[in-house]
Structures are given as C-alpha cells and as structure tokens.
Amino acid sequence: MKTELTQYDTPIHRALEEQRLNRLAHFDVPGHKGGRGNKELREFLGAECMKLDMNSMKPLDNLCHPVSVIKDAQELAAQAFGADEAFFIVNGTTAAVQAMIMSTTEAGDKIIMPRNVHRSAINALVVNGAIPVYINPGVNKKLGIPLGMSVESVKQSIRENPDARAILVNNPTYYGICSDLKAIVELAHESGMLVLVDEAHGTHFYFNDRMPISAMAAGADMSAVSMHKTGGSLTQSSILLTKNTVNADYVRQVINLTQTTSGSYLLLSSLDIARKNMSLNGQVLIDKAIEFATYAREEINKLGGYYAFGEELIDGDMIYDFDTTKLSVHTRDIGLAGIEVYDFLRDEFGIQIEFGDIGNILAIISGGDRNLEIERLISALSEVKRLHEKDKSGMFDHEYITPVVVMGPQKAFYSYKVSLPIQESDGKICGEFVMCYPPGIPILAPGEMITKEIIKYIEYAREKGCILTGTQDMNVENINVVDTAI
C-alpha cells in the first residue's frame, strides 16, 4: 500500500539520493560519469553535484510521461499551490508561458493580453499563429512605467472580441504592480474565456497571507510560476499550474512539443526541495523579505532624489495591488537613467541588482538576504547620488510606447523581409523583436509599425547602456522589416 505523501516529502530528491547511494556502474548518459570524465567541471561544481546529475531511468521516472516519483512531486506541488495539476518545467518559465498559450489557442484564434508581456508570450504567437488583441496598460506619468490591466479595458476588449479564446494577464508586473485578477477572471469566465496568468514574479504570493491574491486563488485556469525567481529553486526551473477547466493530459502533450526529453534532475530536485521549503517556511521567509524591502524603501526615500515606490500607488484599478517585496526605485529625478545607476552599483560598489531601465531600478528582495547587504545597497545608492547626480533635463520620460499593430506576429515574422538601418525604418512594419533585456518586454514585436518615437527610444536606451536584444543583427544597428512590395 502506497504511503500518503505530505509537504514534508521530496519524492524526486529522495529517489535521486537512493540512486547515488546505490553505487551504480553507469553505462548511460551523461558522459561525464559522475564527474570522473571532466575533472575541471567536477572541481568547479563539486563532486556531489556531478554524481546527482543523472539521466532518466525507471527509479527516477520520466519527465515526459511521469508515473512515479515525478508524478508524486508534481501532485505535492499542485497541493501546495492550490492547483488541480502541476507540471515541472526545466526550460524556464518561457516554456510554461508558451505551453499555456499553445494549449488553449490555435492558428487564427484571438487571445486578449496586455502589450507589456514578456517576449515568450509573443514568441508563442509566432509559433502557433494565434492573433493578439492587445490591451494597452495605463502609464504612471511620474514613473513612466506600464501599469496593470483595468477591468474596464478588459470589459471593452471582451465586448469587441467575444470570440477570443483566452485572456493572458501579467500578475505581478516586473515592478510589482497587480491587476484586479479576481474581477478579470469572473468577467472572462462569464464570457466563456479562459484566464492564463504569467505569474513569473509572483511565486511567493502562494505562501504568505500578506501578499496579493495568487492566480489559483483568484480562479484562473492556468498559471506559469518562476519557482527559481522568488521560490528558491535553481535558475531555469519553473512550474505550470492548471485547474480542471483545462485538459491536463493535452497540456502535457503540448509541453512535450518544446520541452527537452532529457530533463535535468538537478533542476527537478530543486523544484521538489524548494516547494517543500516554501510550503513549510514560506510565511516566515516572505515576512522577512517584506520587512527588508519596507525598511530599504523608507531609508532610500530619506536620501532625497530617489523614489522607492510602493503601496501608496494603489488606486483600485490599474494598480489594484502591489507586491511589497519588489524594491523598485525611480532614479530620473537625480538625472540618471536606471541603467546608469545599475552600472554604478555593480562597477563601483560590487552590488548586482535585477535590472535598470531608462527610469528605474529593481532590486529583488527575498528571505535569503541579510541586513548587511540591505545596508550596503542603501549606502551605495547614497554614494551614487552624491558622486553622479546631474541635471535631469532632456531625459526620456516613459518606458512604454503604445504600439500600432498592423499584422499578426506569425505572418510578419515569416514574411519576406529586408534589413534597414534602424534610423531609416520609420513607417515600416517590424519583422522581428527589439527589446532591452532584462526585463525582456519588447519595444517592438513582429507586425508592429516602427515610428519616430520608437526609434528615438531605441537610440536613447542604447546611449544609456541598456542591453538591446532580439534582432538578427547582433549589433542591433539594422532591423528586419516586412517587404510590402512582395
């Protein structure tokens, strides 16, 4: 008789340890054979880590078709997150977002989504041919950042597109801003639409009652959670959550279209252990993160010039709630772009933050931080202001530019294209992506009209030191545009 598992159990971790202790003679992959075949890598990562890097075998189950320990671990994750099913993802939350879209829409189907989505969502549309119906988020004029989806905008999009199959919601945004997720779910379900949530930055919502509502608690049908971002697992490990309103077996098939058949057991076991840790200790860990972030926010605001924003922004609409663990700081009033502050912190003070854009920085705070690092960050920001503050005139004042969509992403991406210098592309239809990474939200996506304002933004971002990506041209000097003469 099978013993009932609890949140104290880690099935994949346990099975992996058992295989390590079995002293197997390995005539399977990986070829490093526990690190013996690659001594430099073994010395770098450690002998125990290398021994645990195993391939799928009967006692370890199979990620593509789990029937034993992976299945058990996924069931425990579903329980912990309040979902009906959970799928372990080792291709990053990018793969989870794409699986959500590709399992609920097909070529020609409409999907309602905010335009400030991660590139992974638009990539899915390029692959499967679904058509986006964009809701332009509001913009906070002082901070220049995109906000959440207003309920009224969702209502309007549903009225104008009653045939849409699903609504995708970012919750929270990179900056910590949350939409009224429960109201959006109710509206969508009344109209027969599914709700998919890109919850990459909200894993911790599930494990602390001081956090905004989670996707599963709000009644969403699917959610992609980056366990590695705020849940403590290894980078690239993620979980896709579903309710019984979607066919979980079909979702698994869609995941298997793009996910590796050689799932890393280091990543899988990290998901297993991180789920246990958050389930048992999440309330305390996230309380600690909240206290750190709140203290840092207060101290940074005392410095003058900076604005570490938080719950005071909540307006019950496009900023319905706020994730207080996100330490987002507006920098433009000291005459510095966020990316400039990012560079100063790293190069002069040995501090690595999550990202800097043209007006803000973001520091990710978790229960793994310490008082010493928090104080270092506050002191370093004070020094950056003292040493580098300048006149803010002439600075670009917003992160988000409302796009003009003239063609579906798939059609534009696969159309015949010509390469032009970006400065000469005004009025053309973009055939690829342009974005700053992080955060990976496209400035331009396939099928959108290139405008003078967008060109100016790209050049400004380059000048300030943002890392531009997405174009075929690795120097991001030329851009592929749709050849409308063909």
Residue in the structure block whose two tokens are 């291709």: 91
Type and span of the H or E element at 111: strand 110-114
Which residues pair with residue 321 across a beta bridge?
Answer: 178
Task: Name the strand (E) or helix (H) holding 86.
Answer: strand 85-89
Q: Note the CATH architecture for domain 11-278.
A: 3-Layer(aba) Sandwich (3.40)
The letter for the amino acid at 45 is: L
Residues 6+ apart with CB under 8 A from 452: 426
Strands 131-135 and 85-89: unpaired
Q: Report the C-alpha gap between 235 and 219 in whole angstroms.
A: 28
Render 121-178 in DSSP notation, one character per residue. HHHHHHHH--EEEEEPPPEETTTTEE----HHHHHHHHHH-TT--EEEEESS-TTSEE
Longest alpha-carbon distance in the chain: 72
pTM of the predicted protein model: 0.95
Q: Which two tokens stand for residue 393?
A: 């005139």
pLDDT of the residue at 403? 85
Residue 139 has a pLDDT of 85
Residue 486 pLDDT: 63
Q: Beta strands 222-225 and 238-242: pairing type?
A: antiparallel
Residue ranges in 392-466 assigned as alpha helix (H): 409-414, 452-464
In CATH terms, 282-388 corresponds, of 3.20.20.70, 3.40.50.300, 1.10.3720.10, 3.90.1150.10, to: 3.90.1150.10
Question: How far is 96 from 399, CA to CA, in rounded Å?
Answer: 26
Q: Whose structure tokens read 């973001």?
A: 362
CA distance 251 to 50: 32
Torsion of CA 237, 242, 248, 250, to 10 degrees: -70
Report how far residue 372's alpha carbon sits from residue 191's, in angstroms, rounded to the nearest whole number.
51
Helix (H, G, I), strand (E, B) or coil at 274: helix
pLDDT of residue 25: 87
Q: Rounded to whole angstroms, how far apart are CA atoms 379 and 300?
A: 9
Amino acid at 303: L
Domain 409-482 has CATH 3.90.105.10: yes
Cβ neighbour number for residue 66 with a 10 Å cutoff: 20
Q: Which residues of 304-340 are buried (b: 16+ CB within 10 A; e: fewer)?
A: ebbbbbbeebeeebbbbbbbbbbbbbbbbbbbbbbbb
pLDDT in the model for residue 2: 66
What's the rounded Cα separation, in Å, for the pair 274 and 230? 10
Long-range contacts of 210-213 (CB under 8 A, 24+ apart): 210/286, 210/287, 210/290, 210/324, 211/286, 211/323, 211/325, 212/171, 212/172, 212/178, 212/181, 212/321, 212/322, 212/323, 213/178, 213/181, 213/182, 213/321
Q: How many helices (H) and strands (E) would you count in the chain? A: 15, 20
Per-residue pLDDT for the chain (486 aa), expressed as one digit of tens each?
A: 567 999 999 999 999 999 888 888 889 899 999 999 999 999 999 999 999 999 999 999 999 999 999 999 999 999 999 999 999 999 999 999 999 999 999 999 999 999 889 999 999 999 999 999 999 888 888 888 889 999 999 999 999 999 999 999 999 999 999 999 999 999 999 999 999 999 999 999 999 999 999 999 999 999 999 999 999 999 999 999 999 999 999 999 999 999 999 999 999 999 999 999 999 999 999 999 999 999 999 999 999 999 999 999 999 999 999 999 999 999 999 999 999 999 999 999 999 999 999 999 999 999 999 999 999 999 999 999 999 999 988 887 766 788 889 999 999 999 999 999 999 999 999 999 999 877 888 899 999 999 999 999 999 889 888 889 999 999 999 999 999 876
Residue type, 451: T
Amino acid letter, 452: K
Chain-centre distance of CA 140, in angstroms? Answer: 21
> For residue 182, what is the enclosing H or E element?
helix 181-190
Please check whether residue 365 is in contact with residue 325, taking contact to mean a CB–CB distance below 8 angstroms: yes
Other beta carbons within 10 Å of 119? 20
Domain extent listing, the chain: 11-278, 282-388, 409-482
Nearest residue to 456 (alpha-carbon basis) of 358, 369, 370: 358
Is the Cβ–Cβ distance between 360 and 331 less than 8 Å? yes
The one-letter amino acid code at 102 reads M
